[in-house]
Structure 1
């Protein structure tokens, strides 16, 4: 089943712009420092290791007291870096669409513990790998898309379809959102008030 991206009118975009501004006011200028620092190291090193994945877990406030976290820690950092290097190459490939790059990047991570299912952690790593091309996925962003009339199913390749939906939205963004990146849009989706974002789960 293919998701339909639909069209978001001026009211929807005003809600998104207001939500993005609210994030800037509430989170402050330092909240995303961890993501920015990991992205800088990834750009310099060409891969993301276990230490930086740990930092991203803290930044995203994901649980680390899980079996997958133990399994990831038991995986050689060199193996983790091979997978994340392949994912970086994929998401930075400007010769394909963003959704195709997202699909390849997500696939490159699929063999690592913690990345076999679900897109929250994988999306954070991919966003650190390509901060101007990828976006963070979570259930709040998923529900906010639905509130804007853009359904996103939980069928396979959800992350690439999520990126395709964001790319479509950004292609029709009004000023002052016309220069937004997918990351700006995922922030806005995350920050939409709960009563306007629905109660969908991911």
Structure 2
């Protein structure tokens, strides 16, 4: 089984670190992190070509590779820093472009979880997590939270940039690990069936 982690940040910083923490709990599975900053993504223009073409987008860019990876994954962890109270524009672009995957319900019944990080304790992390959750539910995915010990909406961390990298709050790191543990638990339940 494969777990795909998506770093919705414009750089490989605190969101990337939190995704790595979650994936540490998933050593028994094939895992991969992709960073959207490594791809060129055009905006969805809602031209409806994907509806006419059976889910194939006519725009040729980095989205094709990401869509393929999403189709192959059994579980997806989506991470985003908070940008003005929600996900990054780059991640929203991916969400909009993923309309192609909804034509044939390619993501239906895949497991999904969310990670968000902001600069302050109440910096919009929950709203960002809910935006990721809404995307997953629109695709018919099975959304899971961070579970024990908190069981909220996912990982909501606080990070400060330092000269040497990032300082992430311990509770945020713990909830990232809990996201990974919960995905592992659910994937193992599915393997048993």
TM-score by length of 2: 0.34
Query: Higher relative CO (CA 8 A, sep ≥ 6), structure 1 or 2?
Result: 1
TM-score by length of 1: 0.33
